[in-house]
Amino acid sequence: MDSILFQIAIFLGSIALVVLAARLIIDHIIKVAQYLKWRQFVLAFLVMSLGSALPNLSVGISSALKGVPELSLGNVMGNNVVIFTIVIAIAVLVSNGLSIESRLVRKSALFAVVAALLPILLLWDGRLGRGDAIALIALFILYNLWLFSKRHFIAGIMEGETEGKPRKSPLHGFKSFLKSSGSVAVGVVCLIIASEGIVRSAYFFETTFAIPLVIVGVLITGFITALPELYFTTLASRRGNNWIVLGQVLGEVVVLSTLVIGVVALIHPIEIEDFSPLVVARFFLFLSAAFFLLFMGTGKRFSKKEGLILAAIYLAFVATEIFFQP
Does some domain include residue 6? no
pTM of the model: 0.76
Does some domain include residue 197? no
Q: Which CATH number does the domain housing residue 109 bear?
A: 1.20.1420.30
Q: What is the mean pLDDT of the chain?
A: 80
Domain assignment of residue 80, given as a range: 41-154+212-323
More confident: 289 or 302 = 289
Per-residue model confidence as pLDDT tens digits over 183-193: 888 888 887 78
Asked, for residue 23, whether it belongs to a domain, the answer is no
The tally of domains found in the chain comes to: 1
Give a yes or no: residue 202 inside a domain.
no
Q: Is residue 160 part of a domain?
A: no
Looking at residue 305, what is its pLDDT?
A: 92
Q: What is the pLDDT of residues 101-148, one digit of tens each?
A: 778 888 889 999 999 999 999 998 889 999 999 999 999 999 988 887
Comparing C-alpha atoms, which of 144, 188, 145 is closest to residue 48?
188
Long-range contact list for 146-150, CB < 8 A, 24+ apart?
147/42, 147/45, 147/108, 148/42
Can you point out the beta strands (E) in 255-325?
A: 270-271, 301-302
Residue 53 lies in a domain: yes
- Does the residue 77 lie in any domain? yes
Whole-number Å distance between alpha carbons of 46 and 152:
13
- 3-state SS class at 302: strand
Cα 110 to chain center, whole Å? 15
- 180 assigned to some structural domain: no
pLDDT above 70 (res 159): no
